[in-house]
Each structure stands twice: as C-alpha cells, then as structure tokens.
Amino acid sequence: MQQEPIVDVRGLNHWFGVDTARRQALYDISLTLERGSFTILMGPSGSGKTTLLTLIGCLRAVQDGSVRLLSQELNGAGEAQLVAMRRRLGFIFQAHNLHESLTAAQNVMMGAQVHTGVPDALAEKASVHLLRLVGLAERADYLPANLSGGQKQRVAVARALVGQPALLLADEPTAALDKESAAEVVDLLIRIGKARGMTVLLVTHDNRILDRADRILTLEDGRIVRDDRRAPA
C-alpha cells in the first residue's frame, strides 16, 4: 500500500493585506513531499517561499485550498490543533535563535522539553546524543557566544532534531555561514534525515547547496514554475 505523503498541498492560495492593499502571495500551489525526501525551495526574493513554508509549518492559517500535514487537514484547523501539529515538526531559521544564557546542551534540552514534555534525565540523554551526532560533544557546555557561526547552527540542528520530527522545515539555514560550514550543516541534515526517514524542506537562496537536494522546487511570483528531481546519490 502506498504511504500517504508527509505533506500534500492542493490548490493553495494565500493573500496578505485587506481591501485595496490586498495582494495575492501564492497562486494555486500543489505539491507533495514524500517521506525521507530532501527538497530545496528556491526562487527570487518575494516569490512566496517563506509564506509557503510557514503555511506548511502551521505558523499561519490556511485561507484557501488544502494542506494535509501528517495526514491532517490544516485548512479549518483551530489554534490548539495547529500548536499540537507544530510540536511534531522541527524548525531551523537563518538566525540560530539560541538562548545566549544557556549552554549548547541546555539549548538542545529545551527543544526536547518543548516538544514532548519528557523528563529531564531523558531529555539530557537525548541532547548529549544529538550533540555528538552533530559533532559537538566536546562543546556541550559552551555558551553560544563561544561557538562559531557554523557550530551555533549545528546546535540549532540538534535542537530541531531532538523531538524526532517527521518533517523538518528550514528557512535559509546557511545564509549566514561560510561555504564550508554551510556544506557541513546541509550534509548533516541530509545524513540524519536519510537515517531517520525524516522529510526536509529547505528554503534557500544559497546556490552553493543546490546540488545536494533530491528535488528543487522553484517559485516565481507565487507560482511553482519548476520541479526538478534527481536520483538520490
């Protein structure tokens, strides 16, 4: 039996503003994301990438069309359902958004606690494991101020993964990184994503990482204008 996709978007439209200021940002978007796939969403500034990512990520309400996420319809979902769905996702943003007063391990632990309300001892164990996975076991007790940009983003990756999300949404996660750190972060996401069967949707302008995706979706003026797939490496 064919598994339902992790994300199934049909005929999605979205508008911002009211009255004469009302502007359509997305037009009739349809796409599916299969389990374990790594998809890059690219396109010029203002083309609607973040809007689409935030709709799929339950960070804004669906106005028109259908978004099915982990087999649940988001159009018409109440705030409580959206909050519950968000807990099942992982997010990484351009700014790592780490708490400066907490160590790397504590930042990752917070991710575990927000997601699952698991006991401290278990959350700590999971955090240590994740930091090892992203190559930062030695720096678990460092504050963010004492980590490089790439290391901070790797902590953010660990934090996003600690809740074992089925879907990871990343918005420009490599924009602030040098070439080597950007490649490291993307390779980590791919390696861990494949190992866990996690689906990744990554918004980027960063041409340096395009060749790593299974699939590249291109948005222009709120429409998907290209859908390039390549055989997994």
Please tell me whether residue 50 binds ligand ATP under the rule CB under 6 A.
yes
Please tell me whether residue 48 binds ligand ATP under the rule CB under 6 A.
yes
Q: Which is nearer to ligand ATP, 51 or 153 (CB)?
A: 51
Two tokens at 106?
A: 């504590």
What is the C-alpha separation between 211 and 21, in angstroms, rounded?
Answer: 39
CB of 22 to ligand ATP, least distance (A): 10
What is the C-alpha separation between 24 and 18, in angstroms, rounded?
Answer: 11
Please tell me whether residue 64 binds ligand ATP under the rule CB under 6 A.
no
The three-state secondary structure class of 198 is coil
Please tell me whether residue 107 binds ligand ATP under the rule CB under 6 A.
no
CB of 104 to ligand ATP, least distance (A): 28
The stretch near ligand ATP (CB under 6 A) out of 4-12, 48-56, 127-135, 138-146 is 48-56
The three-state secondary structure class of 23 is strand
Contact criterion met (CB below 8 Å) for 228 and 216: yes
CB of 204 to ligand ATP, least distance (A): 9
What is the C-alpha separation between 215 and 229, in angstroms, rounded?
Answer: 4
Two tokens at 67?
A: 């978004």
Site map 16..45 versus ligand ATP, x via CB under 6 A: xx-------x-----------------x-x
The stretch near ligand ATP (CB under 6 A) out of 46-54, 130-138, 153-161, 209-217 is 46-54
Please tell me whether residue 47 binds ligand ATP under the rule CB under 6 A.
yes
Please tell me whether residue 46 binds ligand ATP under the rule CB under 6 A.
yes
CB of 152 to ligand ATP, least distance (A): 21
Tell me, letter by letter, the H, E, C secondary structure of 52-86: HHHHHCCCCCCCEEEEEECCEECCCCCHHHHHHHH
Q: Residue 62: CB partners within 8 Å, gap ≥ 6?
A: 12, 14, 55, 74, 75, 76, 77
Contact criterion met (CB below 8 Å) for 209 and 186: yes
Binding residue for ligand ATP, selected from 37, 39, 51, 153, defined by CB under 6 A: 51
What is the C-alpha separation between 220 and 128, in angstroms, rounded?
Answer: 41
Please tell me whether residue 49 binds ligand ATP under the rule CB under 6 A.
yes
CB of 232 to ligand ATP, least distance (A): 26
Q: Which is nearer to ligand ATP, 46 or 232 (CB)?
A: 46
> Which residues contact ligand ATP (rule: CB under 6 A)?
16-17, 25, 43, 45-51
